[in-house]
């Protein structure tokens, strides 16, 4: 089976390469038959990669430990779901997953449901096949998931216990659908340029692809944050780790692209920006894959060093040069229509938005590369801590959120005095956001500014939604597309609320309790009843029973765990959590003494709940934005 899988990858490389050559020659010489043959090669590549992936799944489920990858990430005792998800537990499988998803999406694109011009189809598929060929080559040469073990193993090493969590089953594929999906708008961007077709049509064509990919990437990031919160047991959801940041970077540039594309489609400028942003997004998706899976960047959850880095850097450079060349040759396509736009207009706001997202992406990228830069140029490795991101990323993010609150008050091209008066509502929201916390006793500058910012944006979003509802009542017709955008914006506001609440008002304490003793935090009283011990085949399990009381009322029991996993010979904690919209009670079981004394870290994390709700709303908004026939002009 492993031989079948490996052969399928080799063949997939050959047919993908054939597809690239076929399309390119067909275009330059005008052989129609060749283009058809290349199209079949694209389909064959999808079939071959699927075969390889199914082989790997079969080997994983069968626990065939003669295959090194299966040996490293599964064991006999591992439940089938986790054995299946071990597909993307390591570098080799993750890269295969990338290729698999890309080949399926490419197949979808090759069906040409949009009745696309032949030239465009050929160029776009050539680009996609080129990306496929790269991944197939890497899998065949440096990162082969089907490599055999050097020795005989009767048992596998098993999955890292931290990955035995349902969110880790779905997080990597979700992110990878985003990465692979964002390759499609990029491939079509090149195709429209090469075919000399207007970029406005490109945007209409790729908008659904970009939105779906963007939503998947965003959902994946949120799920990753949720996993960190539930499984890593430090009470946070975002550590500004290079691996986390690297997935956020293309999401930010993709978000900028989606906004920029609106302007390009309707106002016929920012076309160059849109093209640049989608190119960057694609390259940054490659970069993110490389950061996560190569270990070149110092990170707590990156993988071991490998020669993979060279391939990725070379590939990114090739695409950057190629795209730059194509863009330069066809630079006339970026020409803007002459439009007047006042300084206070939606157009200008979108333009600045591009810069803001671009700046945020740049800051994160700098943070990732800084240790590498400093060791190369200063001879001494330095790293930056979280405060760097607080000082650079957060102000930019705050301005972005402010702009969100203003967008409804700004008109396209110019803003009438009447429209501008609408800005009074967000301004009122900001005032409320500042006054209320002060009245409640808040005296620090940053929380007050943050509440003011979010108050501004929240009022703006409510204003947007209210206008939508009024419009609906007047016209008696639902236009889902703009509502999608509003929902996404509402999601952003809720997410921001969660971030502010949990960043500024977190309470935590460390306690050591004997059975029967209690500890207090905020309005909560926690009683440590006792612990239980179970011996399981894969681990020794210790459960602490903790009763939770609030204002004297019994709320229930939570049971944080501390387990010794045999496969990694290590303790892993499972947190106890009681989540409500107002706050989460978060309990980490740190240590257990022989006499039953247990130490706990207790946290009260306010409003974390809203981060997940906001994230969910953003995905829902993206679904609505996809609604067909929704593209009616939204008059301001």
Give residues in contact with other proteins (CB under 8 A). 68, 72, 150, 157, 233, 300, 304, 336, 341, 343, 348, 351-352, 355-356, 359, 362-363, 366, 370, 374, 380-388, 391-392, 395-396, 510, 512, 568-573, 588, 590-591, 593, 597, 599, 601
Dist. CA 441–CA 430, nearest whole Å: 17
Give the shortest CB-446-to-other proteins separation in angstroms. Answer: 15
Q: Is 475 in a helix, a strand, or coil? A: helix
Dist. CA 526–CA 516, nearest whole Å: 10
314 vs 342, beta carbon nearer other proteins: 342
Give the shortest CB-596-to-other proteins separation in angstroms. Answer: 12
CA 272 from centroid of its chain's CA atoms: 25
Q: Which residues pair with 67 in a beta bridge?
A: 148
380 vs 535, beta carbon nearer other proteins: 380
Q: Could you tell me if 128 and 282 are in contact, meaning their C-beta atoms sit under 8 angstroms apart? A: no
Retrieve residue 625's tokens: 């934005």
Q: Tell me the DSSP string of 228-258.
A: HHHHS-SS-S----HHHHHHHHHHHHHHHHH
Give the shortest CB-165-to-other proteins separation in angstroms. Answer: 15
81 vs 510, beta carbon nearer other proteins: 510
Dist. CA 366–CA 93, nearest whole Å: 29
336 vs 530, beta carbon nearer other proteins: 336
Q: CA separation (Å) from 584 to 57, 141, 166, 311, 448?
A: 38, 47, 20, 44, 22
- Which are the contacts of 596, defined by CB distance < 8 A and separation ≥ 6? 514, 515, 530, 531
381 vs 520, beta carbon nearer other proteins: 381
7 vs 375, beta carbon nearer other proteins: 375
Give the shortest CB-2-to-other proteins separation in angstroms. Answer: 17
Give the shortest CB-505-to-other proteins separation in angstroms. Answer: 18
551 vs 594, beta carbon nearer other proteins: 594
Q: Could you tell me if 550 and 578 are in contact, meaning their C-beta atoms sit under 8 angstroms apart? A: no
203 vs 588, beta carbon nearer other proteins: 588
Give the shortest CB-175-to-other proteins separation in angstroms. Answer: 22
Q: CA separation (Å) from 340 to 268, 346, 354?
A: 12, 12, 19
Dist. CA 34–CA 22, nearest whole Å: 6
Give the shortest CB-599-to-other proteins separation in angstroms. Answer: 5
343 vs 440, beta carbon nearer other proteins: 343
DSSP 376: H
Retrieve residue 581's tokens: 């919209």
28 vs 387, beta carbon nearer other proteins: 387
- Which are the contacts of 632, defined by CB distance < 8 A and separation ≥ 6? 479, 481
Give the shortest CB-382-to-other proteins separation in angstroms. Answer: 5
Q: Which residues pair with 577 in a beta bridge?
A: 586
Give the shortest CB-551-to-other proteins separation in angstroms. Answer: 27
Provide the phi-psi class of 441: left if phi over 0, else alpha when psi is between -120 and 50, else beta: left
Give the shortest CB-515-to-other proteins separation in angstroms. Answer: 14
CB atoms within 10 A of CB 515: 15
């Amino acid at each position: 089976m492993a031989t079948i899988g490996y052969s399928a990858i080799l063949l997939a490389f050959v047919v993908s390469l054939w597809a690239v050559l076929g399309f390119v020659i067909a275009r330059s010489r005008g052989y129609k038959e060749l283009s058809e043959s290349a199209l079949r090669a694209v389909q064959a590549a999808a079939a071959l990669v699927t075969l390889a992936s199914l082989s790997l799944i079969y080997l994983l489920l069968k626990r065939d430990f003669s295959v090194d990858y299966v040996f490293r990430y599964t064991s006999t005792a591992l439940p089938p779901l986790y054995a299946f998800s071990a597909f993307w537990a390591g570098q080799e499988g993750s890269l295969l997953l990338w290729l698999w998803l890309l080949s399926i999406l490419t197949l979808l694109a090759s069906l040409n449901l949009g009745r696309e011009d032949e030239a465009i189809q050929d160029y776009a598929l050539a680009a996609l096949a080129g990306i496929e060929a790269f991944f197939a080559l890497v899998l065949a040469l440096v990162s082969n998931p089907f490599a055999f073990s050097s020795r005989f193993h009767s048992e596998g090493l098993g999955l890292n216990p931290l990955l035995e969590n349902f969110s880790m089953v779905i997080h990597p594929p979700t992110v990878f659908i985003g990465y692979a999906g964002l390759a499609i708008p990029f491939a079509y961007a090149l195709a429209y340029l090469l075919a000399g077709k207007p970029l406005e049509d490109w945007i209409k064509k790729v908008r659904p692809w970009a939105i779906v990919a963007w939503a998947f990437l965003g959902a994946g990031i949120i799920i990753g944050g949720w996993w960190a919160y539930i499984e890593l047991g430090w009470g946070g959801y975002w550590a500004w780790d290079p691996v986390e940041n690297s997935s956020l970077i293309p999401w930010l540039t993709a978000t900028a692209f989606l906004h920029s594309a609106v302007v390009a489609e309707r106002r016929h400028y920012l076309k160059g920006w849109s093209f640049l942003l989608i190119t960057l997004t694609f390259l940054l998706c490659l970069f993110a894959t490389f950061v996560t899976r190569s270990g070149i960047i110092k990170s707590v959850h990156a993988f071991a060093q490998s020669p993979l880095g060279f391939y990725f850097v070379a590939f990114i450079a090739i695409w950057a040069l190629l795209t730059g060349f194509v863009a330069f040759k066809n630079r006339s396509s970026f020409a803007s229509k002459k439009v007047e736009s006042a300084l206070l207009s939606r157009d200008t706001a979108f333009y600045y938005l591009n810069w803001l997202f671009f700046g945020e992406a740049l800051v994160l990228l700098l943070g990732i590369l800084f240790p590498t830069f400093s060791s190369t140029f200063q001879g001494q490795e330095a790293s930056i801590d979280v405060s760097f991101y607080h000082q650079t990323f957060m102000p930019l993010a705050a301005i972005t959120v402010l702009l969100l609150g203003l967008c409804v008050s700004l008109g396209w091209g110019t803003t009438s005095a009447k429209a501008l008066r609408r800005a009074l509502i967000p301004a009122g929201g900001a005032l409320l956001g500042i006054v209320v916390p002060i009245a409640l006793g808040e005296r620090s500058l940053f929380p007050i500014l943050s509440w003011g910012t979010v108050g501004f944006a929240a009022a703006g979003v409510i204003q947007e939604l209210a206008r939508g509802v009024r419009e609906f009542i007047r016209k008696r017709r639902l236009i889902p597309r703009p509502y999608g955008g509003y929902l996404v914006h509402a999601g952003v506001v809720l997410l921001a609320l969660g971030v502010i609440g949990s960043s500024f008002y977190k309470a935590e304490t460390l306690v050591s309790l004997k059975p029967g003793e209690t500890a207090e935090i905020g309005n909560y009283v926690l009683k440590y009843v006792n612990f239980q011990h179970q011996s399981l085949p894969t681990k020794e399990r210790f459960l602490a029973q903790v009763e939770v009381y609030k204002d004297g009322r019994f709320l229930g029991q939570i049971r944080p765990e501390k387990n010794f996993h045999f496969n990694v010979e290590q303790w892993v904690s499972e947190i106890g959590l009681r989540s409500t919209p107002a706050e989460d009670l978060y309990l980490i079981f740190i240590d257990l003494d022989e006499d039953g004394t247990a130490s706990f870290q207790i946290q009260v994390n306010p409003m974390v709940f809203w981060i997940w709700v906001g994230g969910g709303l953003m995905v829902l908004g993206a679904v609505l934005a996809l609604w067909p026939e929704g593209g009616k002009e939204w008059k301001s």
